Structure 1
Amino acid sequence: MPEAETRNPVLVARQRAGFVERVHHGRVAIVDGRSPEGALAAALGDVGSAFLPRSSCKILQALPMVESGAADAAKLSPRHLALSCASHQGSDAHATFAGEWLREMGFSETDLMCGAQESGDAATRERMIRAGEAPSQLHNNCSGKHSGFLCQAKHLRASAENYVSPDHPVQKAVAAATAELAGEEIAGHAIDGCSAPNFALSLTGLARAAARIAAAETALAGVRLDAAIRLRSAMAAHPFEVAGEGRCCTGLMRAGEGRFAVKTGAEGAFIAILPEMGLGVALKIDDGNTPAAECAMTGILVALGALDAGDERIACWLTPREVNRRGLVCGGGALSQAITGLRLS
């Protein structure tokens, strides 16, 4: 058993007829952004060790673009800002919007450095197969984030080539913003699936960054205050741009009706930004299971009162069902007491 699982509690279990078939250990940090030091309001498991937040930190990667004035110079709308924070499903709508944004800036799909990716949207994928159309970089789930990187590079008059290098001004600004909001030094970096650097920090640091964005009105000042509010508001107002139909982030934010923003990441990472409570939540499932992370985050939002457990719009994530090949429900996911009994200090 991995060492982490000896420290971290079970957050989600998969059951069949009352038999537990597998469990998912994990850790949770909830930070109060209204406290001057960004104090922990609740914690489960090891929240001090460094990890890779993957795409859960995309709002931090977009923050310097807005702070620098690049977003205003390019006359970006809230939809653009939401797409810059997205891990979208590569639907025709997402790819078209990203392509339009690039053309407006004088760039094209070939200027992106995220790599081509097959569309995650079934209808788009089927249309492309029938048309013999190959996936492009616009279909990459990170094409919006990379369009934002190019937007900032253009505004800074920095090279648009190799903008994903950790030494590029765009990525240096991302690293600085991440460290400042997290209140800790970056613990290193790895290259993400889209080729951009992913900066490591603790789960507490990630939750603190989310909390300071949530409580921006009191926790931040100047251009950072404005940028944080604009980005979190854009995500909450345009959940489709952030993910897509049938996706957890989109579904949870639609159910939240503009009250909060959430963002998933690979390998079981997830954050929530809750402005009304001034809270930031960061979650990591040890084995990287995405459905477990979705179930746990939904349960946390219910436990905090941000969502109603009886809301049918969130049922597929709060109480996921195991359906067999005949369409029979034969099991499903269950939250642990660690999640259902979560209370703030």
Structure 2
Amino acid sequence: MSQRTTLPHRPPTAPPEVRVPAHAPVAHMVRGGLVEGVHHGSVVVLAADGSVAFQAGDIEAACYPRSALKPVQAVGLLRAGLPPLDDEALALVAASHSGEDRHLATARRILATAGLTEEHLRNVPDLPYGPLVRDRWLQQGREPGRLVQNCSGKHAAMLLTARARGWPLDSYLDPEHPLQRELAATVAELTGQGIARVTVDGCGAPLFAVSLHGLTRAAARLATAAPDTAEGRVAHAMRSHPEMVSGAGRDTARLVDAVPGLLAKDGFEGVQIAALPDGRAVGVKIADGGDRARMPVTAAALARCGVDPAVLAAFATAPVLGGGAPVGELRAAGALALPRSAADGDSTAAIP
């Protein structure tokens, strides 16, 4: 592993252009030797110095990062005055959790720190995100709830920060609320660009549009940050508790466990970021929002970062079944597909 370097911050540039992104083919769904489906998308790979080492598609168009932006928002919450939390709780602040008991207990604990309860949350009631947890929830006849919704850790931390700063609680999701204005400033600083659009995310919180390039740059800044900074604290918490950031068996948690020092976060609509401690980083956006293509494309991008393909083998393809038996696979394609020598472990195909 390369030595850690702290990437410099720079004043935000103009917002990315709002346009229809010029995505490229990034994944094939192959059945019986025939390409049955093609996923388009955009991919960026950053070298340790922050330069673009590889790109496919349109990495500069404005896009919504969805939950992949949560680590940046967690940094913004710390900067805005979020009271001290242990690493497990801070990981939940950046989470799209599965709704497991430990997730709910930690979200309650964050709220209790502010003397608040689930009734104060303003996120949208939902069922647990984790399929197994959701099935058990429904079998028990339980209804959708705010605490079990996958963004409740972030919302609990927003309320705790607002309470600590003496800001209104009922309106904490208003884009003009002082909390949201501070979060927007952090997004602009860490991505290095202005915000192109502000809308509402699925959970009800403001959602900021940046470019895939800017989002990946922010991930690299968190991954390289000094431990005593807000960025470093969030990165450490996420690395230390990957299953608090997602859930048992989730692919991003397994990826973090497999790649030493990796910082990673997925988001709805096919978004993924992943960054190494020396600043090498990848950003992925699947155009059609198809989640099945997200991890094979991410694995191919990380291989171009120099991560051992053998470590990534479990993530590089997804089986296609016919009659219950494997008949094909989903895999990276187009310019992103590595030469066979790289797939076989030839490190010369990796970026520096």
If the length of structure 1 is used for normalisation, what is the TM-score?
0.87
Once the 2 structures are TM-superposed, how far is the Cα of residue 255 of structure 1 from its aligned partner? Answer: 1.0
Asked if the contact 1:55/1:87 (under 8 Å) is kept, the reply is: yes
Q: Provide the C-alpha distance between the structure 1 equivalents of 2:309 and 2:240, rounded to a whole number of angstroms.
A: 22
Once the 2 structures are TM-superposed, how far is the Cα of residue 98 of structure 1 from its aligned partner? Answer: 1.1
Matches within 5 A, 1:1-345: 7-32=22-47, 34=49, 38-72=50-84, 76-217=85-226, 226-257=229-260, 259-275=261-277, 277-306=278-307, 308-311=308-311, 315-324=313-322, 326-341=323-338, 344=351
Residues 142-192 of structure 1: CA deviation (Å, up to 9, x unaligned): 011111111211121111112111001111111101111111111011110
Counterpart amino acid of residue 69 in structure 2: C
Counterpart amino acid of residue 264 in structure 2: V
Counterpart amino acid of residue 265 in structure 2: K
Q: 1:320 to 1:174 in 2, by over 3 A?
A: same
Secondary structure of the 2:90 match is: helix
Secondary structure of the 1:95 match is: helix
Q: 1:126 to 1:337 in 2, by over 3 A?
A: closer
Percent of paired sites with the same residue: 35
Asked if the contact 1:65/1:151 (under 8 Å) is kept, the reply is: no
Secondary structure of the 1:228 match is: helix
Asked if the contact 1:209/1:280 (under 8 Å) is kept, the reply is: no
Asked if the contact 1:33/1:214 (under 8 Å) is kept, the reply is: no
Asked if the contact 1:33/1:212 (under 8 Å) is kept, the reply is: no
Residues 184-212 of structure 1: CA deviation (Å, up to 9, x unaligned): 11101111000111101111111221222
Secondary structure of the 1:163 match is: coil
Counterpart amino acid of residue 328 in structure 1: A
Counterpart amino acid of residue 321 in structure 2: V
Q: 1:81 to 1:51 in 2, by over 3 A?
A: same
**Is the deviation greater in 125-134 or in 287-296?**
125-134
Q: Provide the C-alpha distance between the structure 2 equivalents of 1:131 and 1:282, rounded to a whole number of angstroms.
A: 39
CA RMSD of aligned residues (A): 2.1
Secondary structure of the 1:246 match is: coil
Q: Provide the C-alpha distance between the structure 2 equivalents of 1:252 and 1:98, rounded to a whole number of angstroms.
A: 24
Question: Mind listing any 5+ residue stretches in structure 2 that lack a counterpart?
Answer: 1-18, 339-348
Asked if the contact 2:20/2:61 (under 8 Å) is kept, the reply is: no
Q: 1:123 to 1:43 in 2, by over 3 A?
A: closer
Q: Provide the C-alpha distance between the structure 2 equivalents of 1:286 and 1:344, rounded to a whole number of angstroms.
A: 25
Asked if the contact 2:27/2:334 (under 8 Å) is kept, the reply is: no
Q: Provide the C-alpha distance between the structure 2 equivalents of 1:225 and 1:206, rounded to a whole number of angstroms.
A: 22
Q: Provide the C-alpha distance between the structure 1 equivalents of 2:251 and 2:287, rounded to a whole number of angstroms.
A: 19
Once the 2 structures are TM-superposed, how far is the Cα of residue 121 of structure 1 from its aligned partner? Answer: 3.0
Residues 229-249 of structure 1: CA deviation (Å, up to 9, x unaligned): 111111111010011122111
Once the 2 structures are TM-superposed, how far is the Cα of residue 315 of structure 1 from its aligned partner? Answer: 4.5
If the length of structure 2 is used for normalisation, what is the TM-score?
0.86
Higher helix share: 1
Asked if the contact 2:200/2:207 (under 8 Å) is kept, the reply is: yes
Counterpart amino acid of residue 329 in structure 1: P
How many residue pairs get aligned? The number is: 324
Residues 322-342 of structure 1: CA deviation (Å, up to 9, x unaligned): 123x42111111212522437
Once the 2 structures are TM-superposed, how far is the Cα of residue 269 of structure 1 from its aligned partner? Answer: 1.1
Counterpart amino acid of residue 29 in structure 1: V
Secondary structure of the 1:24 match is: strand
**Is the deviation greater in 88-97 or in 136-145?**
88-97
Counterpart amino acid of residue 339 in structure 1: L
Asked if the contact 1:88/1:241 (under 8 Å) is kept, the reply is: yes
